[in-house]
Amino acid sequence: MLNFDFYNPTQILFGKGRIADLNKVVPADARVLVLYGGGSIKSNGVFAEVMAALAGRTVKEFPGIEPNPSYETLMRAVEIVREEKLDFLLAVGGGSVIDGTKFVAAAANFEGEPWAILETRGRNIKQALPFGTILTLPATGSEMNNGSVITRKSLKAKMAFSSQLVFPKFSILDPAKTFTLPVRQIGNGVVDAYAHIMEQYLTYPVNAPVQDRFAEGLLLTLIEEGPKALANPEDYDVRANIMWCATLALNGLIGAGVPQDWATHMVGHELTALYGLDHAQTLAIVLPGMLRVRKESKRAKLLQYAERIWNITAGTEDARIDEAIKRTQDFFEQMGVKTRLSDYKLGSGNIDEVLQQLESHRMVALGEQRDVTLDVSRKVLELSV
Ligand code: NZQ
Ligand code: ZN
């Protein structure tokens, strides 16, 4: 096992009716900015519950954080925080609202142009406002981690940052609040969580059976529960299992002490920045090709994955690996997330542009072995047409 630091201070309040507990976890004298997205929380009643639970505090609102939150939008929230002297942020929504709130928390008292936070990937953050989250879309794990991904539309750049200062103070996870998700977002969430686990599990063995078996348990749970969420959208237990799975998939636990890949995510971010695809759609396109192209360096883990996740034990090593990757791709399709560039009206004509973006963002030595060069990324994209 590799050396590691594990730190996660986020308090989780999980279960039905937990929004009422906001009253206990937001300081009574807080001056709060509630940040949210395009309005789903207004139509499903979450907003009204939040406002009731915050009664007695000074509360301002910032609506309109878009999927793949933009620097341009978030800087308007930073202005409001500064003008109104607000001191606590509350994100209500999916990963985009939470990531956006992390940025606002870090930018509010930042000296200089806050885009520098992205340019240094968060290393220059010296302070951040405290914030909590109410999660309405299980997918990213942002509710219990210290990462955030922000897009600057004018540069077509989608960049990540992280800092120990942007862990949420608390996150409220009520699975019943995910019943109103559109089918597309249910599928996206399961595929994103699945890909997070694969980025931390499907590398090379370092004799870390605890992390492996945690990861395998989470993968198997997504495979079992994901299709049930599509078939029975109001099954509370199914939603509860998916929600906790997605949080555990990226809260630092399964990635501690093991190599991590993340090449699929980095290539995927460029596809979103250039063509506006949903985050999970990009992962469904890139991950199968990434595993195929890097079969040799990932061979031992691919065989373990084939056996323990898909029960594939017969045939040559190559046949078992190929079958496991095919089943992975089939699972994404089963969740309603298409897996080819051509499904999104893209093709080989777009590959050069994606590679240019990767190069300009210095994404030229990705993966757990730093061997995903631009040539490797090209092969992956060619396989994904
Ligand atoms: O904006 P509203 O109206 O709320 O609608 C949203 C949005 O249109 C809707 N939605 C959310 N909860 C709902 C709901 N609709 C009905 N009922 C509900 N309960 O879903 C749409 C998508 O929301 P979004 O927040 O964009 O989705 P997701 O949670 O998948 O977040 C994606 C973002 O997270 C980043 C991605 O890059 C992308 O920008 N990621 C963040 C990570 C992190 N911080 O650790 C890791 C991930 O790998 C990922 O990169
Ligand atoms: Zn992701």
Please report the domains of the chain, with CATH numbers, ordered by start residue: 11-177 (3.40.50.1970), 181-383 (1.20.1090.10)
Measured CA to CA, the distance from residue 14 to residue 251 in angstroms comes to: 15
* Ligand 1 nearest atom to the CA of residue 66, by list position: 1
Each residue of 264-278: pLDDT tens digit? 999 999 999 999 999
What's residue 96's pLDDT?
98
- Ligand 2 center to 111 CA (angstroms): 30
Q: Which among 12, 37, 63 has a CA at the least distance from the CA of 173?
A: 12
Q: How far separated are the first and last CA of the chain, in Å rounded?
A: 37
> CA Rg, the chain, in Å?
20
Each residue of 285-327: pLDDT tens digit? 999 999 999 999 999 999 999 999 999 999 999 999 999 999 9
CA dihedral 353, 357, 358, 361 (to 10 degrees): 170
Which token pair is 220? 């198997």
Measured CA to CA, the distance from residue 301 to residue 259 in angstroms comes to: 12
Pair 107, 142: CB distance under 8 Å: no
Pocket of ligand 1 contains residue 94 by CB under 6 Å: yes
What's residue 112's pLDDT?
95
Q: How many CB atoms lie within 10 A of CB 362?
A: 7
Q: What mean pLDDT do residues 6-25 have?
A: 98
- Give me the amino acid identity at 187: G
Pocket of ligand 1 contains residue 178 by CB under 6 Å: yes
Q: Which among 70, 73, 68, 66 has a CA at the least distance from the CA of 40?
A: 66
Q: Provide φ and ψ at 35, rounded to 5°.
A: -105, 135
Measured CA to CA, the distance from residue 380 to residue 385 in angstroms comes to: 9
Pocket of ligand 1 contains residue 146 by CB under 6 Å: no
Using 50, 70 and 90 to split pLDDT, how confident is the model at 31? Answer: very high
- Ligand 1 center to 310 CA (angstroms): 29
What's residue 123's pLDDT?
97
Q: Which ligand is nearest to the CA of 168?
A: 1
Each residue of 48-78: pLDDT tens digit? 999 999 999 999 999 999 999 999 999 999 9
What's residue 97's pLDDT?
98
Interface ipTM: 0.99
Each residue of 183-203: pLDDT tens digit? 999 999 999 999 999 999 999
What's residue 229's pLDDT?
98
Measured CA to CA, the distance from residue 241 to residue 256 in angstroms comes to: 22
Pocket of ligand 1 contains residue 181 by CB under 6 Å: yes
Q: Which ligand is nearest to the CA of 137?
A: 1
- Ligand 1 center to 95 CA (angstroms): 4
Which token pair is 231? 């078939």
Q: Which residue has the tokens 């061997």?
A: 371
Torsional sign, CA 77, 82, 84, 89: positive
What's residue 111's pLDDT?
95
- Ligand 1 center to 16 CA (angstroms): 21
Long-range contacts made by residues 206-211, C-beta under 8 angstroms, separation at least 24?
Answer: 206/1, 206/2, 206/257, 206/258, 206/259, 207/1, 208/1, 208/2, 208/257, 208/258, 211/1, 211/254, 211/255, 211/256, 211/257, 211/258
Which token pair is 171? 């996150």
What's residue 268's pLDDT?
97
Measured CA to CA, the distance from residue 258 to residue 197 in angstroms comes to: 12
With vertex at residue 164, the alpha carbon angle to CA 158 and CA 170, rounded to the nearest 5 degrees, is: 95
Each residue of 245-259: pLDDT tens digit? 999 999 999 999 999
